[in-house]
């Protein structure tokens, strides 16, 4: 098989599907648009959910992309051979066009043909849905793989846990067929299969066939248009092609690890602890660089995306201190990330100074955190003279002042104490479960499951942004939004608190647009034409974009959905204005129905 770099695989994948009629679309932001249920874009399908639900995409019915993704449920596992927080997902999509037959044939061709990846056919294994009360056994996918030349003994039927895809508990769904690479490890048992976690089978590609819709009440129905959604992890596939021991031993991390070695004066693989420290710093700073460089502007804070970003930076700092990397080490590592990825993701170059400033600032803040932790430790240590610091106290040091358990253990030893690490881990595990439930694990699809309330609030955010720009100036730019059925939350760039008088003017402007009862129109055009028209929008959408216009009040690039007339919105009311993070303000607002 070909020994490809990350840049080569990216290019080859897009070239393959472009030749087969797919429009190449750019990566969406790491911060989901108008999605109340998830902090980050966690998969390639995430930004495309409105189109998988039936909306028409400006670029057509066949799409392919490389999507930036972040998953944070396993932060504490980073440091091993496979876990990453940031990764790139290669994907190809059919929106009511081709289905299983073509999808499987193209996957097989791309993986095995010498012109493309040239992977040994005998090292590929597959899984298909075994069927249950919701849907029948996916014999078509099984038989199609056999048609391609796959030995039937290489195909496994697995249950819904492994081969059924649905965004949360309801929405578009269907069986998937997953593709695995045999790593050469011995089987763990006689029934060893891709369902095992023994490491013999490494998943490299997943083809999801969305042909059903599951209603909130559990009823299943067929979708009018069947879709294909595929995902191939770039880093994991490159590691397979390069025969690397881990994702960190590929070109994706070569230069980053070299900079860490230069700053620390240590050898990456000198011992297990050093390997772990290098990998954590490399992963976390690569992720932090992409978060800070994102067009939607994440900055460290104590809530939402900013909290995750701060946690990543501080964990990396702790290991940088362990390696004695010196001052401003993280921003120096980030320079390499910008250099390595700046051509593919130009927003990193554009925000390079901002990335450096935020990392250096957070480093100074962490130094103060350590000082606060020391004072708290001194306060409580007298309670445990000659004994053990209990798990609750150790976790409180971690949770309230960000004091790492390793620091607590070290200080305890210096003071003739020990730490109930098991008690700490129990409390940490409880904390971790709550964190997972509150982050991307609760993804349900956001506006992909748009209803009347969320659609109205989505349209209202357009009017709100237009009003803010009119009152506060064109420096206002959207930095994120979050919509539920009850309210909208809109984050925007602005350096100070918005005065009550300004908020009243903004509110009045939005309500003027609603009372004007103007139609909401949608046109497709090139992004250049949209910009020339005066349409606003932070993000790249591809060659064609949808522009939603609300009379003279708002003109914005967006994927929808929207009301047909502003009169449908009711009365707009701002409930709260507050700081979100440095240089970013947040407005929470509601729509009050107009009853006649």
- Kindly tell me if the per-residue pLDDT of 443 is higher than 80: no
Q: Residue 453: exposed, middle, or buried by beta-carbon count in 10 A (0-12, 13-18, 19+)?
A: middle
pLDDT confidence of residue 110? 97
pLDDT confidence of residue 438? 44
In percent, how much of the chain has pLDDT > 70? 94
Q: From CA 145, how far away is CA 314, in angstroms rounded?
A: 47
pLDDT confidence of residue 434? 61
Strand (E) or helix (H) holding 409: helix 405-414
- Kindly tell me if the per-residue pLDDT of 448 is higher than 50: no
pLDDT confidence of residue 554? 92
Q: What is the DSSP string of 430-498?
A: HHHHHHHHHTGGG---GGGG--HHHHHHHHHHHHHHHHHHHHH-TT--EEEEEE-SS-EEEEEE-SSPP
pLDDT confidence of residue 450? 61
Q: From CA 256, how far away is CA 334, in angstroms rounded?
A: 8
Q: Are 363 and 328 in contact (CB under 8 A)?
A: yes
* Closest to 178 in 3D by CA, of 155, 151, 198: 155
SS3 63: strand
End-to-end CA distance of the chain: 69
Q: From CA 145, how far away is CA 108, in angstroms rounded?
A: 8
SS3 170: coil
Average pLDDT over residues 235-240: 94
Q: From CA 478, how far away is CA 476, in angstroms rounded?
A: 7
Strand (E) or helix (H) holding 554: strand 554-557
- Kindly tell me if the per-residue pLDDT of 557 is higher than 70: yes
The residue with greater pLDDT, 313 or 224, is 313
Q: Are 27 and 213 in contact (CB under 8 A)?
A: no
- Kindly tell me if the per-residue pLDDT of 155 is higher than 60: yes
pLDDT confidence of residue 433? 66
- Kindly tell me if the per-residue pLDDT of 35 is higher than 80: no
pLDDT confidence of residue 501? 94
Instruction: Provide φ and ψ at 280, rounded to 5°.
Output: -65, -45
Instruction: Provide φ and ψ at 591, rounded to 5°.
Output: -115, 125
The residue with greater pLDDT, 97 or 396, is 97
Per-residue pLDDT band at 137 (split at 50, 70, 90): very high
The residue with greater pLDDT, 31 or 400, is 31
- Kindly tell me if the per-residue pLDDT of 75 is higher than 70: yes
Mean pLDDT, the chain, integer: 88
Q: From CA 370, how far away is CA 365, in angstroms rounded?
A: 9
Per-residue pLDDT band at 39 (split at 50, 70, 90): confident
User: Which are the contacts of 326, defined by CB distance < 8 A and separation ≥ 6?
Assistant: 263
Class of domain 6-246: alpha beta
Per-residue pLDDT band at 542 (split at 50, 70, 90): low
The residue with greater pLDDT, 539 or 322, is 322
Per-residue pLDDT band at 198 (split at 50, 70, 90): confident
The architecture in CATH of the region 450-592 reads: 2-Layer Sandwich (3.30)
- Kindly tell me if the per-residue pLDDT of 445 is higher than 70: no
pTM of the full structure: 0.75
Q: Are strands 388-389 and 418-419 parallel, antiparallel or unpaired?
A: parallel
Q: Do domains 6-246 and 450-592 have the same CATH topology?
A: no
Domain boundaries, the chain: 6-246, 253-375, 450-592
SS3 200: coil
Dump pLDDT digits (tens) for 340-363. 999 999 999 999 999 999 999 999
- Kindly tell me if the per-residue pLDDT of 305 is higher than 50: yes
- Kindly tell me if the per-residue pLDDT of 436 is higher than 60: no
Average pLDDT over residues 269-280: 93
pLDDT confidence of residue 435? 53
* Range name among 68-72, 208-212, 402-406, 415-419 with the lowest pLDDT average: 402-406
In percent, how much of the chain has pLDDT > 90? 57
Average pLDDT over residues 218-241: 92
pLDDT confidence of residue 281? 97
Dump pLDDT digits (tens) for 479-529. 878 888 889 999 898 999 999 999 999 999 999 999 998 889 888 888 878
pLDDT confidence of residue 169? 76
Q: From CA 469, how far away is CA 473, in angstroms rounded?
A: 5
Per-residue pLDDT band at 538 (split at 50, 70, 90): low
User: Which are the contacts of 542, defined by CB distance < 8 A and separation ≥ 6?
Assistant: 23, 24, 25, 26, 58, 59, 527
pLDDT confidence of residue 228? 96
Q: What is the DSSP string of 126-153?
A: EEEE---SSS---HHHHHHHHHHT--GG
């Amino acid at each position: 098989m070909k020994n490809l770099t990350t840049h080569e695989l990216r290019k080859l994948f897009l070239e393959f599907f472009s030749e087969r009629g797919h429009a190449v679309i750019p990566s969406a932001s790491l911060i989901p648009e108008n999605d109340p249920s998830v902090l980050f874009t966690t998969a390639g399908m995430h930004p495309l959910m409105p189109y998988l639900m039936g909306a028409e995409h400006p670029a057509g019915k066949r799409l392919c992309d490389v999507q930036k993704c972040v998953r944070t449920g396993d932060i504490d596992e980073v440091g091993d051979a496979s876990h990453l927080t940031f990764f790139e997902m290669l994907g190809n999509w059919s929106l009511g066009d081709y289905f299983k037959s073509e999808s499987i044939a193209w996957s097989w061709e791309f993986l095995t043909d010498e012109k493309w990846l040239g992977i040994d056919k005998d090292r590929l294994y597959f899984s298909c849905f075994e069927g249950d009360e919701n849907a029948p056994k996916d014999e078509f996918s099984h038989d199609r793989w056999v048609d391609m030349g796959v030995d039937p003994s290489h195909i496994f039927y697995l249950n819904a846990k492994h081969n059924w895809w649905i965004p949360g508990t309801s929405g578009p769904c269907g069986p998937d067929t997953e593709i695995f690479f045999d790593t050469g490890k011995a089987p763990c048992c006689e029934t060893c299969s891709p369902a095992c976690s023994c490491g013999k089978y490494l998943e490299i590609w997943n083809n999801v066939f969305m042909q059903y819709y599951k209603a909130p009440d559990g009823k299943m129905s067929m979708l009018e248009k069947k879709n294909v959604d595929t995902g191939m992890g770039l880093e994991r596939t490159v590691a397979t092609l390069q025969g690397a021991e881990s994702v960190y031993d590929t070109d994706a991390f070569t230069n980053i690890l070299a900079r860490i070695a230069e700053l620390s004066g240590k050898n990456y693989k000198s011992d297990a602890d050093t390997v772990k420290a290098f990998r954590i710093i490399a992963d976390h700073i690569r992720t932090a660089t992409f978060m800070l460089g994102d067009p939607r502007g994440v900055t460290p804070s104590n809530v939402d995306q900013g909290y995750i970003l701060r946690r990543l930076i501080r964990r990396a700092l702790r290991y940088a201190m362990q390696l004695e990397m010196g001052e401003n080490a993280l921003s120096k590592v980030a320079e390499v990330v910008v250099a390595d990825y700046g051509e593919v993701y130009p927003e990193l170059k554009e925000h390079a100074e901002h990335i450096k400033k935020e990392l250096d600032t957070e480093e100074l803040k962490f130094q103060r955190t350590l000082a606060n932790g020391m004072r708290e430790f001194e306060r409580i240590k007298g309670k445990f003279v000659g004994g053990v610091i209990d798990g609750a106290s150790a976790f409180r040091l971690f949770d309230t002042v960000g004091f790492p358990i390793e620091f607590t253990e070290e200080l305890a030893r210096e003071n003739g104490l020990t730490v109930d690490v098991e008690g700490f881990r129990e409390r940490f595990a409880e904390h971790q479960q709550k964190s997972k439930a509150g982050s991307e694990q609760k993804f349900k699809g956001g506006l992909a499951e748009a209803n009347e309330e969320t659609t109205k609030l989505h349209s209202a955010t357009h009017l709100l942004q237009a009003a803010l720009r009119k009152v506060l100036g064109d420096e206002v730019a959207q930095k994120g939004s979050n919509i539920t059925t009850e309210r909208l939350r809109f984050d925007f760039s602005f350096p100070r608190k918005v005065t009550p008088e300004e908020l009243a003017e903004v509110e009045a402007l939005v309500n003027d647009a609603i009372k004007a009862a103007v139609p909401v129109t949608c046109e497709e055009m090139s992004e250049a034409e949209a910009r020339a028209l005066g349409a606003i929008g932070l993000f790249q959408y591809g060659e064609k974009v949808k522009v939603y216009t609300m009379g003279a009040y708002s003109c914005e690039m967006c994927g929808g959905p929207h009301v047909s007339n502003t009169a449908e919105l009711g009365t707009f009311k701002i409930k709260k204005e507050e700081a979100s993070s440095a240089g970013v303000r947040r407005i929470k607002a509601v729509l009050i129905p107009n009853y006649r």
